Structure 1
Amino acid sequence: MNENTVHISKKKVLVIGELLADLISEKDIESLAFSSGFVMSQGGSSANLCANLKWMNVDAELIGSVGDDGLGTYLINEIKEAGLSDKYLTRLSNFQTSLVLVGKSKNTPDFIAYRSADIQINKIDDSLINDAKLLHTTAFALSKDPAKSNILNAFSKAYKLGKYLSVDWNYAPTIWNDDNGINVFKQICRFKPLIKISLDDIERFTGRKLSIEESMQELNNIDVSAICLTCGKDGVWFKKENSPWIYKAALSVKEVISVTGAGDAFWAGFLAYFIEEKPIAECIDNALITASKKIGKLEPLYKRSLI
């Protein structure tokens, strides 16, 4: 076990969503229009979060789908290295493993997604929902059918059973194409989930450049259990339903290596404490600690740093 691992008692988290191959630029680039060499790594917000939870000794399972190809084999091997099971990962012979090109950056990374197998998530077995304490998914996973319908159905069942629900609303128009995501967002909010959303997410979702204050006003209209508005180096604002917003500053890091995956690390840190019934402020503290560890290294948290 990594010496930095946070030891948490086991509570089942069911993560439903994307497992992708990330091709990340070797150099920092502002846009993928600039040429660069690329390095492949396991990616996908859902898979990253699940691996981070496992790194923190949380009992987490990943439901997703990959192609029956070399990239699919690579991703499953990476998932196993992270300590996760591939029991609920479907391999599909008629679909290619999805991949994303990412421009490494100290700011918001530029990316292009090439999707196939990741949207083919099947119906989630009722026994998995029954055994879970919390279900998590992402806007990325909710953007296309059949995954969208099957995830919403699972969330509906979990909500009726009184389970905790979590959504990283990492909305991007290029993923949703002609769908603005509003109807799906309204559907998911009916289940009173925990919502993580960034300033970039809100700008893409609303189509407007909003300040932090304007973003909080926008989110005041959402009736959910809790909302975290992440603002990068400017920290995080958060609130529980019917409560005022609270601010916590981002932690300083010795050197910013890459912000890619920092949001997934942040939310994993939050959920690891949340399922232990910790106060929301403590959940945020752990989220900021976990994110700062990821920002300070290029590799996933569960891998030993090479620098």
Structure 2
Amino acid sequence: MSQSRFDIVAMGDAIVDVIAPATPEFLRQHCLPVGSMQLLTPLEADHLYASMGVAEEHSGGSAANSMAGVASLGGKVAFIGQVADDQFGTIFRHDLTALGVHFDTPALEANADCPTGRCLILVTPDGQRTMNTAPGASHELVAGAVSEELVKASRILYLEGYLFGPDKPRAAMMEARKMAHAAGNETAFTLSESVIISERRDRFTRLIEEGGIDLLFCNDHEAKLLTGHDDVLAAEAALAAKVKTAVVTHGAAGASANRDGTRVMVPAVPIDEVVDTTGAGDLFAAGFLAAYTRDKPIEKCLETGAICAAEVISHYGARPEADLKELTEL
């Protein structure tokens, strides 16, 4: 696998993040619980966007953010995701490829009913983000758009839980997993967000129990929701029994990994101020994977993930601003 063209190819939402500060009162006025995630129609997104304050636009999407992070660490990565041929689609493609991520999925014809996906992110003064996503074209990804050559040329296939719900992209992901398995490559999966687990728990569980996942990423709350255990250590053990490597983040308490019957724990990296938690898990995964594909010890993988997560929560947006190579000394 050392001869692979890419370290990782990821499949996930192709989304442009629109980020703006917001007060708790603004969230209450729009019936948006702090720290929650909602799915919106394109029309609903238009209405919320019109009432937001001055915003910053950043290409986003969980798996795409992770690939941007790995690329900034010198990794060779690719992305498969669906955009439309519109302004946000152009922004997304430009931003991702400018970072060195290979992205050649053809765009869909521009359509007002199915534009490039947007995530309207409202950040309260405590750094918590409330996410309002209109997936649009992102959920139109089909199996025919997946390049078998690309999947087989990548050491790891990285799949995003956000995209595993809708029928079309889920079928595309399952087809890609078969391709990766046939090539002897590893498959990694991120649960993405606790709010989606209740409706997708059976699908996630089947995927894991069928032996389809080698490397699993989640936070402690997601681990408990998926396994049904109230105790996080029991939840970790349950996951570790079904995947080769189970990686669990614990917020300010750090992160852990269970592999080959051994649990390794590292502390979080302290920062002066939490500005915006958007992308914390995405960049943690980026750091872990960048070290993992260099065959570093699991503890070093966790430490690299923690450094990358700390960097991204120190500023607005889910893409790194500092030199991650210098920070991680990877």
Give the TM-score normalised by the residue count of structure 2: 0.78
Q: Aligned match of 1:230 in 249, 270, 285?
A: 249
**Aligned position for 1:198:** 219
Q: Aligned match of 1:185 in 205, 209, 216?
A: 205
**Aligned position for 2:115:** 96
Q: Aligned match of 2:188 in 141, 166, 171?
A: 166
Partners of 2:293 and 2:248 lie apart in 1 by 20
Amino acid at match of 2:73: M
Please say if residues 236 and 246 of structure 2, whose CA atoms lie closer than 8 Å, have aligned partners that are also in contact: no
Change (3 A) 1:270 1:158: same
| C-alpha displacement of 1:29 | 4.6
Partners of 1:172 and 1:158 lie apart in 2 by 27
**Aligned position for 1:293:** 311
Amino acid at match of 1:227: A
Q: Deviations over 1:16-69 (max 9, x none)?
A: 111102222324659833575243321110111111111111111111011222
Please say if residues 30 and 110 of structure 1, whose CA atoms lie closer than 8 Å, have aligned partners that are also in contact: no
Please say if residues 199 and 229 of structure 1, whose CA atoms lie closer than 8 Å, have aligned partners that are also in contact: yes
Please say if residues 235 and 247 of structure 1, whose CA atoms lie closer than 8 Å, have aligned partners that are also in contact: yes
Partners of 2:80 and 2:201 lie apart in 1 by 22
Please say if residues 120 and 145 of structure 1, whose CA atoms lie closer than 8 Å, have aligned partners that are also in contact: no
What is the aligned-residue RMSD (CA, Å)?
Answer: 2.8
Please give the residue correspondences for 1:244-263 in structure 2 after superposition, counting only pairs within 5 Å. Answer: 244-263=262-281
Q: Equivalent pairs: percent with the same residue? A: 21
Amino acid at match of 1:228: V
| C-alpha displacement of 1:161 | 2.1
Q: 3-state DSSP class of the match of 1:170?
A: coil
Unaligned residue ranges in structure 1 (runs of 5+): 1-8
Amino acid at match of 2:191: W
Q: Aligned match of 2:170 in 134, 148, 152?
A: 148
**Aligned position for 1:69:** 86
**Aligned position for 1:5:** none
Please say if residues 63 and 89 of structure 1, whose CA atoms lie closer than 8 Å, have aligned partners that are also in contact: no
Q: Aligned match of 1:19 in 10, 14, 17?
A: 14
Partners of 1:225 and 1:287 lie apart in 2 by 18
| C-alpha displacement of 1:244 | 3.3
Please say if residues 66 and 117 of structure 1, whose CA atoms lie closer than 8 Å, have aligned partners that are also in contact: yes
Amino acid at match of 1:195: L
Question: Is 1:48 paired with 2:69?
Answer: no
Partners of 1:31 and 1:137 lie apart in 2 by 34
Question: Is 1:139 paired with 2:161?
Answer: yes
| C-alpha displacement of 1:229 | 1.0
Q: 3-state DSSP class of the match of 1:277?
A: coil
Please say if residues 62 and 89 of structure 1, whose CA atoms lie closer than 8 Å, have aligned partners that are also in contact: no
Q: Deviations over 1:200-255 (max 9, x none)?
A: 4345546x7945335335535x41010111111111121014x1322211111122
Q: Aligned match of 1:84 in 98, 101, 106?
A: 101
| C-alpha displacement of 1:145 | 1.8
Please say if residues 196 and 229 of structure 1, whose CA atoms lie closer than 8 Å, have aligned partners that are also in contact: yes
Amino acid at match of 1:142: F
Partners of 2:191 and 2:25 lie apart in 1 by 23
Change (3 A) 1:11 1:96: closer
Change (3 A) 1:296 1:10: farther
Question: Is 1:280 paired with 2:298?
Answer: yes
Unaligned residue ranges in structure 2 (runs of 5+): 31-51, 324-330
Question: Is 1:111 paired with 2:131?
Answer: yes
Please say if residues 14 and 62 of structure 1, whose CA atoms lie closer than 8 Å, have aligned partners that are also in contact: yes
Change (3 A) 1:269 1:97: same
How many positions carry a matched residue from both structures? Answer: 292
Change (3 A) 1:262 1:255: same
Q: Which moved more, 1:139-148 or 1:92-101?
A: 92-101
Please say if residues 217 and 285 of structure 2, whose CA atoms lie closer than 8 Å, have aligned partners that are also in contact: yes
| C-alpha displacement of 1:137 | 1.2
What stretches of structure 1 move > 6 A for 4+ residues in a row? none
Amino acid at match of 1:60: V
Amino acid at match of 1:185: T
**Aligned position for 2:236:** 216
| C-alpha displacement of 1:141 | 1.4
Amino acid at match of 1:17: G
